[in-house]
Structure 1
Amino acid sequence: MSSPTISARACGIDFGTSNSTAGWLRPGQSPLLALEDGKTTLPSVVFFNAEEDRISYGRAGLDDYLEGYEGRLMRSLKSLLGSSLIDGQTEVMGRALPFRELLTHFIGELKKRAEASAGRNFDTAVFGRPVHFVDDNQAADQQAQRTLEETARAIGFKEVSFQFEPIAAAFHYEQGITNEELVLIVDIGGGTSDFSLVRLSPKRASLPNRQDDLLANGGIHIGGTDFDKYLSLNTIMPLLGYKTRLQNNSEVPSSYYFNLATWHTINFNYTRKIWMELQDVYRDAREQDKLDRLLRLIEHREGHWLALRAEEAKIGLSSMPSVTLSLDRIHQGLQHDIERSDFDTAVNHLVDGVSGTVQQLLQDASLSTEQIDTVFFTGGSSGIPLLRQSIAALLPTARTVEGDLFGSIGAGLAVEAQRRYGN
């Protein structure tokens, strides 16, 4: 990859569901800016510390939460974009906090850290966006981008534009190739799976207009947090009474478990109304020992801790045949073994959705599988074995390249920022 001789005027911002990055092209240095303790990723986390009346972000926010400080942990903030929640609010530290203000808190902090790392201010940026914020709803999708643009302008960006995240990853990959390739970019992020079919080459990298090289884009609202969710529902939530029966043989209501397994709805279970409902459910439950665990979890507000355990299991099972989770906050001494096959069963329907989207993308571009030279993987959940196997089965002749799973998009957005706005 050739290094620029003059620093770019604009930066690239990858506001991710799980992690965020910022990129800026400058001579002789990596395009990614350090955002937290020398690391180029900032987990998309805000923790409102009620005990010390302060806000912490990223890993520091997670650490504060896990150390037991009283407060509210908010994660998967990007999932608010395009959802009905965006115009709502939640209670934080005794006051109503609009979700739009929550986005402003985090993205403002991301800009502040990028500027501190770069040693300069930024008033122009290219933001990444998924191919679809919302599936099959163009109006909601456009509103999601408008919300992100409004937030960016509110924190001080005067000029804002957007690029699809998989295309940004493609432009980053292109910096290091020596021949022309037809590439399928597979970006499995925290909230969405996005794909682009792109013609890349060293000669074409400097062209100002690449529209003819973009053969097709596609995406589906399935991402890493969905893999966490269904792994949790299928392997962890049964320990808390999910799918168990009441005395009348109906199931314990599933809504409590779905809320606990979904990052941005965990706090819905902490209301007085839900607590009173659960007392009635408990009295009617056939397996009260499991409901005891659920009640303990909610009483102590350990939902985010449990969601982190599910994410930990997903990461472990992406490289190991089995994991053992310590769940002592649910019940003293409780451990739970999860096999790779359990993971595959839990997420098989999600992988089918991703594979179907890739197949449709190839049809849209009128390409056969044999015409694809390279599959480039990026995004934190792109290493899930069943997903890799599924895409390999679709494209058996393509070579596989793994990019920077957390940094390719931010680096590519930096390339795009320099291309659009110059030095």
Structure 2
Amino acid sequence: MICGFDYGTSNCALGLSQGTDIRLVPLEGQHTFLPSTLYALDRDLITEFVGKNMRVGDERQAYISSRQHVLTRAQRARREEDIDDNDQTLFFGRAAFDEYFQWPEDGYFVKSPKSFLGATGLRSEHINFFEDVVAAMMQNIKQRAENHLGEEITHTVIGRPVNFQGIDSEASNRQALEILTAAGKRAGFKEIEFLYEPIAAGLDFETKLAENKTVLVVDIGGGTTDCAMVRMGPEYLVKVDRRADFLGHTGERVGGNDLDIRIAGKHLMPLFGMDTLLKNGLPMPTQLYWNAVTTNDVSAISTFNSMETKHQIEQLRLDAAQPKLIERFLRMREEKHNYHIVRNAEEAKIALSDVMEHNVLMDYIESGLACSIQRDDLAKSIEPPLEKMLRLMTAAIEQAGEKPDLIYMTGGSAKSPVIRDAIQKRIGNVPVLDGDHFGSVAAGLTVWSERIFR
């Protein structure tokens, strides 16, 4: 069986073709989208999970040999934490969020690992770890889909951003694709191809066009924003070689996660002392707070979790004009609630697509702790990443050398009226159409998988 696999930064989806129809497979109850999250009782149990779920054979044996040290630590963790062989050790999607919210200090929580795959300076053990995280997630999704279908899935087209990282993009892209390929093979896919995500989103949209158009496809994902200027419509739909129809494409590592981080920093971190003063009248250092919420940056999170940061916060508590806020910040760090805070920011972003004001409740930090955010204030706080997104759109248009007939928006953050208004102001009087904000990429990947594998 053939599928399109959207291994997204925020959500994952898997699509199948049935005749002329494309459908997404339910992955969690009736949900066709599984949040890109994993919670493990112990970090090393992720590697153990991958090994246990690989097919018996030479590849599995080679994998186990390459991870022997980690697997030995996993067995030690089982003994020390009294984890039975039949106990569930890994949780995915919404269940992973539930476990993290309940036990933030006890397990290992990973959100949006795709954001890290192209990171520069990763050592071999880091790459091995990300391979294992992605492989575990892919194994889980593939197994869920196969259990639902009653049939094995062997071939897939996986979506990829134009660039995984902005720095040294060629090496970054190569590293990320190698990680995804290794993980996909360990998940049991026999054939794997990749397709740019904005092009995939455009392929899905093209099947619905009644006449030929030049379309700017804008895919605002969780980790990246990708744009493509594409000629599409009935005349192009039947073509096998589409290279001449893609007039320009741009992409950068700026997406919905960056919006969430800005919202968390500007609106929620002041509850923990950001933007307050020290006793000497100087402003509170802000980098500590940005490190706390920059959950898509390995270096920032590592720094925030370090003992040096703990000591620095403890010193700031002595020097602060409002020490109770710093005590709250210190407690939040010790209890590992920073991912929860960014999740609150994401929920506020989603809510403010429909309402003008949203109240963020943070009782898990402290009873009665809350923050009200208005849409206009949100618009101001996300200006830096939004400006990067707008520049990507105009650069794609400039590459093409012509104005689009229409703009096709996809990706979860594309629903925001703040973003829609900014696009209209920057690009002008061009119709903006919505696709399936979460399903367009998976559907387009499925369309392409049918073309290349059949």
Aligned equivalents of 1:108 and 1:245: distance in 2?
A: 49
TM-score by length of 2: 0.84
* Cα pair 2:22 2:446 within 8 Å, conserved: no
Q: Tell me the equivalent position of 2:8.
A: 16
Cα 1:395–1:270 change in 2 (3 A) is: closer
Which amino acid is the alignment partner of residue 383 of structure 1? K
Q: Tell me the equivalent position of 1:93.
A: none
What SS does the corresponding residue of 2:261 show, helix, strand or coil? helix
TM-score by length of 1: 0.90
Q: Tell me the equivalent position of 2:117.
A: 81
* Cα pair 1:256 1:269 within 8 Å, conserved: yes
Deviation at 1:57, TM superposition (A): 0.2
Mapped pair 1:197 → 2:229: yes
Return the match for 1:66 from 93, 98, 101: 101
* Cα pair 2:220 2:414 within 8 Å, conserved: yes
Deviation at 1:310, TM superposition (A): 0.9
* Cα pair 2:164 2:173 within 8 Å, conserved: yes
Return the match for 1:256 from 288, 294, 319: 288
Cα 1:290–1:280 change in 2 (3 A) is: same
Aligned equivalents of 1:144 and 1:248: distance in 2?
A: 47
Return the match for 1:140 from 148, 158, 172: 172
Aligned equivalents of 1:192 and 1:28: distance in 2?
A: 30
Which amino acid is the alignment partner of residue 105 of structure 1? A
Deviation at 1:151, TM superposition (A): 1.8
Mapped pair 1:407 → 2:442: no
Return the match for 2:411 from 379, 382, 400: 379
What SS does the corresponding residue of 1:324 show, helix, strand or coil? strand
Deviation at 1:15, TM superposition (A): 0.6
Which amino acid is the alignment partner of residue 421 of structure 1? F
Alignment of 1:298-313 (within 5 A): 298-313=333-348
* Cα pair 1:107 1:152 within 8 Å, conserved: yes
What SS does the corresponding residue of 2:414 show, helix, strand or coil? coil
Mapped pair 1:390 → 2:422: yes
Return the match for 1:212 from 244, 261, 270: 244
Kindly tell me the number of residue pairs found equivalent between the two proteins: 406
**Structure number with higher helix proportion:** 2
Q: Tell me the equivalent position of 2:62.
A: none
* Cα pair 1:180 1:201 within 8 Å, conserved: yes
* Cα pair 1:351 1:386 within 8 Å, conserved: no
Q: Tell me the equivalent position of 1:233.
A: 265
Mapped pair 1:108 → 2:139: yes
Aligned equivalents of 1:48 and 1:85: distance in 2?
A: 25
Mapped pair 1:336 → 2:371: yes
* Cα pair 1:87 1:98 within 8 Å, conserved: no
What SS does the corresponding residue of 2:17 show, helix, strand or coil? coil
Deviation at 1:136, TM superposition (A): 4.7
Aligned equivalents of 2:9 and 2:418: distance in 1?
A: 22
Which amino acid is the alignment partner of residue 150 of structure 2? G
- Quote the RMSD (CA, aligned, Å): 2.2
* Deviation per residue, 1:346-388 (Å, 9 max, x gap): 1112221111111111111111x3xx22211110111222221
Deviation at 1:107, TM superposition (A): 2.0
Aligned equivalents of 1:276 and 1:136: distance in 2?
A: 32
Which amino acid is the alignment partner of residue 116 of structure 2? L
Mapped pair 1:326 → 2:361: yes
Mapped pair 1:150 → 2:185: no
Which amino acid is the alignment partner of residue 36 of structure 2? S
Aligned equivalents of 1:140 and 1:380: distance in 2?
A: 24
* Cα pair 2:131 2:182 within 8 Å, conserved: no
Cα 1:104–1:253 change in 2 (3 A) is: farther
* Deviation per residue, 1:83-127 (Å, 9 max, x gap): 14754768xxxxxx8233222211221222232233222222111
Deviation at 1:236, TM superposition (A): 0.8
Deviation at 1:278, TM superposition (A): 2.1
